[in-house]
Structures are given as C-alpha cells and as structure tokens.
Amino acid sequence: MRYVSTRGQAPELGFEDVLLTGLARDGGLYVPATIPQLSADEIRSFRGVPYSQVAFRVMKPFVCPEISEDDFAEIIDKAYSTFRHKTIVPLAQTGSNDWILELFHGPTLAFKDVALQLLGHLFDHVLTKQGRKVTIVGATSGDTGSAAIECVKDRECAEIFMLHPKGLVSDVQRKQMTTVLSSNVHNLAVGGNFDDCQAMVKALFNDLAFRDEITLSAVNSINWARVMAQIVYYFTSAVALGAPDREVSYTVPTGNFGDIYAGYVAQQMGLPIKQLIVATNRNDILTRVLTSGDYTVGKVSPTISPSMDIQVSSNFERLLYNLYDGRGENVRRLMDNLNQSKSFTIDSEQLNKAKQIFDAIQVDEQDTEATIKAIFEQTGMLIDPHTAVGVKAASLKNTDTSIPMVTLSTAHPAKFPEAVEKVTGQHPALPAHMEDLFERTEKYDRLDHDLDALKSYIRSNL
Ligand SMILES: *Cc1c(COP(=O)(O)O)cnc(C)c1O
C-alpha cells in the first residue's frame, strides 16, 4: 500500500515509514492512496472468527507484504494478549436494539489501548529490523498518554516524552502515566490546556531540523496505524449483529475524530453502516462544522468527559481530504485559513457530502449525568461519562430503531469514578491489576508552555 499526504506535497511512503513518521513533512496527515474493498462474502466469513484473525484480514491490505503475513499475524496476537476479556471488545446490550461496544478491556482501561498495544509491537518490529531508535513526543488529554506509555515502556527502540495539561487530567489518568518508572518514559505536566500541549508537539514536527536531530516520531491519533487498528472493531461488532446481511449504526464519543474516522473507513471498505453519529460534549467544534460548515476554534471548556475537551480536531483533516476528492490544494487552503485566523468554512458541496455521511450532536453535562444514572437504573451497568455522551447522542439522533445502534464505550467507569459515583452512588472499582494504583510512586517534571524549554528538556534527557 502507498500512502499520500492530505496536503499533497509530501513524498508518498509505504506502511513502515508512515508508521514511524506520524505527521507528513508538508504538515498533512498520511492516508492510504486507495481504500481496499471487502466483499459481502468476505465480511460474512468473519462470523464466529476470533478477533485477532478478523484483525489480520481487515488490516492486511494496509500492511502486507511490506511486513510479512506471518510476522504481522504474530504481532497482532501479541498485541491483544494483554486484554482482559477473551473476545477483546465485547458487546453489551443496553436497550431493545441498543448496544455498547466495550473497548476498555486493555491495560489502561480506554479504547486507545486497542490501537496502541498494536503500535508498540509494530514499532518494535520495524525499528529492530531497521536497527533504529526513535524519540516519541506526544500530547494527551488524559487517555492517550497512559496507553502510549504502556505500549513503549522498557522498549529499547524508543524514548517517550508525554505532555499533559497540568491539573486538567483526572487523578487516575495522571497516575496511570506517572507511576510508570521506566527510564525511557518522561512525563511532563505543562501549564496550559490540551490544545496548547498539542500545538507544542505540532510545532516540534514542523521544525524539520529538530525533527531530524532527535528522529521524532508520533503515536498520537494522527498516526495512520492507529486509525487502521480501530477499523477492525467496527467489522467484528457489525458482523456479530448481522452484517453484511443487515445494516448497523454507530455513535462515537468524539474528540480528535480518529475513532469515528475509522468507522467511515470501514464503511468505505464495504461494511454496511447506516448512521455514523458524532457525539461531542459542550466543546462542540465538530458538531458545528458538520451542521453549518463553520470550523472556528473556540475556548476549551473543561467537562466531566475530559478526553473530549478539545477544540482542534486533528483527524478532521483526513475527512476534508475525502470530501475534496483527494485534492490537496483544497485541504491546504483550509488549513492555511485555520493557521492564520483559527477558522475555516467548508464549501457547501463538501458540507452536503459530509452531512450525508455523518450526524452530529452535542450533549451537555446535565444530560451526560442523567444518562449515567438512567443506564444504571435500567440495566445495573456503570458507564463512564464519555460513553454516556455517546449513549445520549444515539438516543437523540437515531433515525431507525429497527437497525441495531452501537455506541462505542471508550473508557472503563473506574477511570472517572467521581462522575460515576456522584449520580449512581456506586464507586466503580478498578480492575485487579490496578487496585494499588494510588499507592504507587509518581515521577514527572513540570514545564512551562514554552517550545524552547521543551526542546532543551528533550535534548538533555536523550
Ligand atoms: C480519546 C478519547 C475519546 C475521543 O476519541 P477520538 O478518536 O479522539 O475522537 C473519547 N473517549 C475517550 C475515553 C477517549 O480516551
């Protein structure tokens, strides 16, 4: 598979280089040059097949033969052996035709493990083969950080620097990162919000000299391999609910647009997805752009679903590339507007296309809490606030209740215990492997929101 930049001015790369590069050198994101197609028969043949085998068959065209089929199958097996549930991502029923897809059974209790456990093994494989070492720098609104650290800790091939907005991630989220004491892990609490942290990381990538000096790499959701790994669970869950002989709808609690974009790719590959619903909290830039075409960056407002508290949604650029039929100059024009005036507007033809693919709605804090409570009362299940945003959005936007509606459950309730306990009176327990999290020693440094300070910190710690 060849990969091209959304902005059309970076060299085409193969899978391994795309994996290690993250952001393209023209500032764009890598996307596959063509989308592989799976026939209805192939999709039907996934029934009853274990997750890792479906994963292999769905991802193979993106990865092989650059990585051999045998090696790739082994990488997948290793990646998902750390999950605590034997079906990896089980479905749970919450209503007569409503489901949640539990994506939180990996080591750090959020859906990001599904992609990042795979990425860790892919990095290891490719870097060992090439005899190279990379420096991973990332920003996290909470969940990416621990999942990324968990995927590279103690690996010879990588050093990782993870920026989180100081005081703006939950205690569980922070401790999951800062209690990993491996010498190749560097946690940084940065003054500012998540978008400030992400902007610093982007600036590092755009400093090509520094980028080459430290062999910079990314595991943020801009990395194509993460999107790719997330395509798989749309297939496994849809097939479990009757696809390809029946349509299935999805609602996705959305921040950086990576998870829902994977659903769009699954649909492009041939999976019969009826509705794709973008659920946002009151940081609603995605709802605004998908309903009015206006992408204007506002101020981040903290919520009880902090992993979606963002105003710049990086993977949206990949959708723009599709909406503009792969014409990089159009993506460049919009991204230039964004850089200059923190705003762009999608042209009406492209907006109409987007509206045919996606529904979008924002859910406020009160409705999020009410949904956690209602699901507990109706089913006895505890859901986390991000999942609740999705469940509420699904109920508001579902246009055909005869079609199964799957909400992606992106985090374990124990990751956000205060919000859950406040409305249900139940304290969600951490799984056994994390019971002593609050007794573990933390290690992290503080840093100002200052690019030069970050650069010298990285240099002095390599
Ligand atoms: C990261 C995250 C999201 C948002 O996912 P995107 O791919 O960035 O849209 C939603 N919920 C949780 C719990 C997350 O960690």
| pLDDT digit string, tens, across residues 210-255 | 999 999 998 877 899 999 999 999 999 999 999 999 999 999 999 9
Q: What is the mean pLDDT of residues 159-185?
A: 94
Q: Of 55-69, 141-155, 375-389, 413-427, which range is least confident? A: 141-155
Higher pLDDT, 314 or 254: 254
Give residue 451's Cα distance to chain centre: 25
pLDDT at 341 over 90: yes
**Is residue 369 situated within a structural domain?**
yes
How much is the pLDDT for 436? 94
Q: CB of 409 closer than 6 A to ligand 1?
A: no
pLDDT at 381 over 90: yes
What's the CA-to-centroid distance between 409 and ligand 1, angstroms? Answer: 10
How much is the pLDDT for 222? 86
**Is residue 330 situated within a structural domain?**
yes
**Is residue 457 situated within a structural domain?**
no
What's the CA-to-centroid distance between 285 and ligand 1, angstroms? Answer: 15
Q: Which residues are catalytic?
A: 112
Q: Whose CA is nearest to atom 14 of ligand 1?
A: 307
What's the CA-to-centroid distance between 282 and ligand 1, angstroms? Answer: 15
Cα angle 214, 443, 385 (rounded to 5 degrees) comes to 95
**Is residue 183 situated within a structural domain?**
no
How much is the pLDDT for 452? 96
What is 355-416 written as a DSSP string? Answer: HHHEEEEE--HHHHHHHHHHHHHHHS----HHHHHHHHHHHHH-S-TTS-EEEEE-B-GGGS
Reference 117, options 82, 79, 83; nearest CA is 79
Contact criterion met (CB below 8 Å) for 225 and 19 = yes
**Is residue 154 situated within a structural domain?**
no
Distance CA 226, CA 219 (A): 8
How much is the pLDDT for 107? 94
Print the domain residue range for 302. Answer: 91-110+224-424
| Model confidence pLDDT, tens digit, residues 114-150 | 999 999 999 999 999 999 999 999 998 778 899 999 9
**Is residue 362 situated within a structural domain?**
yes
Residue of 168, 169, 197, 254 to test ligand 1 pocket, by largest number of atoms within 8 Å of CB: 254
Q: CB of 308 closer than 6 A to ligand 1?
A: yes
Q: CB of 253 closer than 6 A to ligand 1?
A: yes
pLDDT at 87 over 80: yes
How much is the pLDDT for 460? 96
Q: Whose CA is nearest to atom 11 of ligand 1?
A: 410
CATH number of the domain at 350, please: 3.40.50.1100
Cβ-based neighbours of 36, under 8 Å, separated by 6 or more: 1, 61, 62, 269
How many structural domains is the chain composed of? 1
**Is residue 28 situated within a structural domain?**
no
**Is residue 54 situated within a structural domain?**
no
Q: How high does pLDDT run on average in the chain?
A: 95
Q: Of 4-8, 166-170, 248-252, which range is least confident? A: 166-170
| Model confidence pLDDT, tens digit, residues 251-266 | 999 999 999 999 999 9
Find tokens 């749970």 and name the residue.
92
Q: CB of 221 closer than 6 A to ligand 1?
A: yes
